[in-house]
Structure 1
Amino acid sequence: MTETLRTVGVVGAGVMGTGLAQSLAQSGHEVILVDRTDEILDRARQEIAQGLRFSRVLGAKGPTEDRQVVAKRIAYTTRYEGFDTVDFVIENITEDWDLKRGVYERIDPLCPPHAVFAANTSVIPITRIGASVTRSDRVLGMHFMNPVPLKPTVEMIRGHHTTDATLDTAHRLLAQMGKEGVVVQDSPGFVSNRVLMLTVNEAVYLVHEGVATAEEVDRIFRSCFGHPMGPLATADLIGLDTILQSVQGLHTAFADSKYRPCPLLVRMVDAGLLGRKSGRGFFDYATARTT
């Protein structure tokens, strides 16, 4: 493989996928961004254009480059054409094992033998993903944080068959993006989400039980602990549907009642109150009122 990883396939054009495509393009990579519909891709294109306009204002590091030049490095498609040229794939679709398995079974025969597969997953074991392809030694987890262009550290997960060479390749990609990785072992939720999802779920229980309002919960974490964002605002940013899927995944994996999803979280997802992406979650983003 060449020293520079030139072409990266990004599967999933949601919040994480668009942030990744932007960050990769800004660091000189050619990107193939894949999702199911042109509508999703059009929205991603608009969000990336906005992200490029404001990246300097928001404090993104690295050399300034004409945003139109950067934008042209991203190809938007509903098909996997072009994946025969990729050096690296980062998958970011929803936390649904059947859907993820279908993606890996589709791209495995298309990608070059040297290509590395990275799962940007919250709770699904990397070893399980590796077992679904013919290159289990070249599969790892890369849990990027949101917003991707502004977060300097990535949680990297070694699956059972992941080799040191694969981790070295992933580290090199991150270095090219101006980021660094922290390697942990494979376990549902890994480090970040095993702690974060339990914290968020417990914060939801506090609101559910009437112990405190969402604003009061988050104010304590911001003011007393110095967190820039409280757990419930964080949940709104991630998406309450993603939170629920992650908590359910931990509950299934560990069979431990401490991961039982709060009924309020289930009800809010059923009601379509998903957080920032729906306009309302624990906070109303039009009026800043708590729910």
Structure 2
Amino acid sequence: MTQRTVAVVGSGYMGGGIAQVLALGGARVALADVSQEVAEKNLERLLAEAELFVSDGLFPEDAVRRLRENLWAAPSIEDAVADASYIEEAVPEILEIKHATLRRISDAARQDAVIGSNTSTILIATLAEAVSNPGRFLGVHFSNPAPFIPGVEVIPHAGTTAATVETAREIVALTGKHAAVVKDVTGFVLNRLQYALFHEAAQVVEEGIASAEDVDTLVRTTFGFRLPFFGPFAIADMAGLDVYSFCYASLQTSFPERFATPGILKDLVDAGKLGTKSGAGFLQIPADKSQDLVAYRNKAYVAMSGLLKELGPSPAEEAGLDTAHTSTETR
């Protein structure tokens, strides 16, 4: 099988991490930046980082050797992209910088090369304005830290071809990660959901309902504890959509606009589709699978508890405990 030739433009923290996982996935990866000196410096950083990851058991034993074989620092952006079949742009989140970089990439790259942007906030259609043959362009948004977060947003704009989306899926699969294809709207999906949670959490703290430390504790140890295994729709289906409907009605007594019942939820409940107990909801999980689902859930949560005990408290959790202890002593 022919080795895939890839370029990553932007060798900083995100771009470097993306280059690592592509190279470990077997691609030949050119790393480019504002100069060859910067690219070479970051290449050495990535190799040293990989040695540490290997010693900590985070990367496979042969990771450094594979990175040395597959990852190289290009003299320029043009040299990096010249022979690449896929190019990932990962420069700073500033429109002018991204536009200038994408123009250089699309001018120097093969006309059939697929170009992905790692933007987390800028509309893909806006970035596509700087790309010749924009049907080959889309968002391919890795999360921080790129070597270890397993999900990737794939974001086509209105003119992106189906073949381009398929290539992006193949690139994500090469890294061993999971692709989710979403539409080109402000915030895409990942940040729209992430910032919705943060916005509500910030209001809780501003209103004096709970401290930042206590909010973090609740998120980590309650609904956040479920999220590595189940997304919000699976969780709602298991809880019962009728229960969710009742809870929305209760929340509306104090927050009528903020917690208006979603129309999609109301429609399912009115149709008697209440989740796993009825065999249909947001997800089509047959009712006869509910016991298997509960057994998996319980096993997963116990395993997560064991992992957390094994790892011990994070530095952030320890700092929160120290802050709470100091606050109590000074009252």
Tell me, yes or no, whether TM beats 0.5.
yes
What does residue 88 of structure 2 align with?
90
Q: SS at 1:190's partner residue?
A: coil
What does residue 75 of structure 1 align with?
72
What does residue 293 of structure 2 align with?
none
Please give the residue correspondences for 1:22-171 in structure 2 after superposition, counting only pairs within 5 Å. 22-36=20-34, 38=37, 42-43=41-42, 45-55=44-54, 57-59=56-58, 65=62, 67-77=64-74, 79-80=76-77, 81-171=79-169
**Structure 1 17/220 Cα, relative in aligned 2: closer, same or farther at 3 Å?**
same
Question: Any conservation in 2 of the 1:156–1:184 contact (CA below 8 Å)?
Answer: yes
Percent of residue pairs identical: 34
Q: Deviations over 1:177-207 (max 9, x none)?
A: 2223111111111111111123224434444
After TM superposition, the score normalised by the length of structure 2 is 0.62
Q: SS at 2:160's partner residue?
A: coil
What does residue 236 of structure 1 align with?
none
Q: SS at 1:132's partner residue?
A: coil
Deviation at 1:12, TM superposition (A): 1.8
Q: Distance in 2 between matches of 1:196 and 1:150?
A: 18
What does residue 20 of structure 1 align with?
18
Deviation at 1:76, TM superposition (A): 2.5
**Structure 1 55/210 Cα, relative in aligned 2: closer, same or farther at 3 Å?**
farther
Q: Deviations over 1:203-234 (max 9, x none)?
A: 344445554433222111101224499xxxxx
Question: Any conservation in 2 of the 1:21–1:33 contact (CA below 8 Å)?
Answer: yes
Number of equivalent positions: 234
Task: Point out the more displaced range, 40-49 or 88-97.
Answer: 40-49
**Structure 1 55/143 Cα, relative in aligned 2: closer, same or farther at 3 Å?**
farther
Q: Deviations over 1:254-276 (max 9, x none)?
A: xxxx9xxxxxxxxxxxxxxxxxx
Structure 1: unaligned runs, 5 residues or longer:
230-257, 259-282
Q: Distance in 2 between matches of 1:288 and 1:39?
A: 35
Deviation at 1:159, TM superposition (A): 0.8
- Code of the aligned partner of 1:182: A
After TM superposition, the score normalised by the length of structure 1 is 0.69
What does residue 279 of structure 1 align with?
none
Question: Any conservation in 2 of the 1:18–1:48 contact (CA below 8 Å)?
Answer: no
Q: Distance in 2 between matches of 1:4 and 1:126?
A: 30
Deviation at 1:139, TM superposition (A): 0.6
- Code of the aligned partner of 1:225: F
**Structure 1 145/82 Cα, relative in aligned 2: closer, same or farther at 3 Å?**
closer
Q: Distance in 2 between matches of 1:30 and 1:219?
A: 43
Q: Distance in 2 between matches of 1:7 and 1:79?
A: 16
**Structure 1 206/173 Cα, relative in aligned 2: closer, same or farther at 3 Å?**
same
Structure with bigger gyration radius: 2
Q: How big is the alpha-carbon RMSD for the aligned residues of Structure 1 and Structure 2?
A: 3.1
Please give the residue correspondences for 1:212-223 in structure 2 after superposition, counting only pairs within 5 Å. 212-223=210-221
Task: Point out the more displaced range, 149-158 or 185-194.
Answer: 149-158
Q: Distance in 2 between matches of 1:228 and 1:47?
A: 33
**Structure 1 57/72 Cα, relative in aligned 2: closer, same or farther at 3 Å?**
same
Structure 2: unaligned runs, 5 residues or longer:
228-257, 259-313, 324-331
Question: Any conservation in 2 of the 1:53–1:67 contact (CA below 8 Å)?
Answer: no
Q: Deviations over 1:100-145 (max 9, x none)?
A: 1111111111001111010111121112222221121101111112
Q: SS at 1:149's partner residue?
A: coil
Deviation at 1:52, TM superposition (A): 4.7
Q: Distance in 1 between matches of 2:152 and 2:55?
A: 21
Which has the larger helix fraction?
2
Q: Distance in 2 between matches of 1:51 and 1:59?
A: 9
Question: Any conservation in 1 of the 2:32–2:76 contact (CA below 8 Å)?
Answer: yes
Question: Any conservation in 2 of the 1:34–1:78 contact (CA below 8 Å)?
Answer: yes
Larger relative contact order, structure 1 or 2 (CA cutoff 8 Å, min sep 6): 1
